[in-house]
Structure 1
């Protein structure tokens, strides 16, 4: 499938079968994340693969796993971050987003569903997985086979704002206030 078709086919999955992910498929997903670009190639990602029932229960203390048998705890190492000097914005969260996006697309190509979660309690994850202070739990990437299948790739026609509301050329235009 071409890239636009793949991007349209990727959707958030909340509800997974109890089927585990094949080792080769998981390795492919992780390999695609490994080649994702990061600012100045700093590669801040540190990924904990969680698959055993005992460890999945630990993740569930911080956020629900929707029945998944595989959760990636995607962390960033703060020891060598690229900091934008103008406003002190750290590139780490952007890097983690790019890495997770690559892995979600790789998963979908393999007919594996995913949901990236940022709304979890990082302190619970830190404690349960003995994560040092300089490593920041940034996202949970929950993977598995969708219980109810994938959403239609054509949903974007109705679910997305028109491009004219989100794309501007040469200057900022507030679509809610055209006089601006």
Structure 2
């Protein structure tokens, strides 16, 4: 599969099968995340896999949507602010770095026949109450991951002329 084919195949899944994700597939995905680039190679991130039923119930309280509840597991993606690179003008790069790593996660999952969806509109404060995070750690993205129960819908994208000069 070419890279463009992989990119076209990835989509935001909103319905998951009950089937568990095999450990070897999860390990492969997380190795791809580990290899993601970051500013000054700081790698200011932490990823927590949530499989336990009690923990999944807590996480579902942080983003209460029916479709989200169908995922067999989740990955909490956090920024480690004391490890992020800060440009001379004060620009923090943790958000950029976590975005790169999370997209590596989503593309690697797609390659493995898995489905994902970025969830950023969740209750981060509630997430901090339910899970243990370091003082410097900010949960930034939740990724439901599993086998899709829905079908990919055609993505509507701007024409190349609108984004490329």
User: Which bracket does the TM-score occupy, shorter chain normalised?
Assistant: over 0.9
Out of 122, 145, 150, the residue aligned to residue 148 of structure 1 is: 150
Partner of 2:160: 163
Q: Per-residue CA shift, 1:10-40, capped at 9, x if unaligned?
A: 0110110111100000111111000000110
Q: Normalising by the residue count of structure 2, what TM-score does the alignment of the two structures yield?
A: 0.94
Partner of 1:93: 95
Q: Normalising by the residue count of structure 1, what TM-score does the alignment of the two structures yield?
A: 0.86
Structure 1 stretches of 4+ with a deviation exceeding 3 A read none
Deviation at 1:66, TM superposition (A): 3.7
- Contact 1:46/1:75 (CA < 8 Å) preserved in 2? yes
Partner of 2:137: 135
Q: Secondary structure at the match of 1:140?
A: strand
Q: Which runs of 5+ in 1 are unaligned?
A: 169-180
Q: Which runs of 5+ in 2 are unaligned?
A: none
- The two structures, once aligned, show a CA RMSD in angstroms of 1.1
Count of matched residue positions in the alignment of Structure 1 and Structure 2: 162
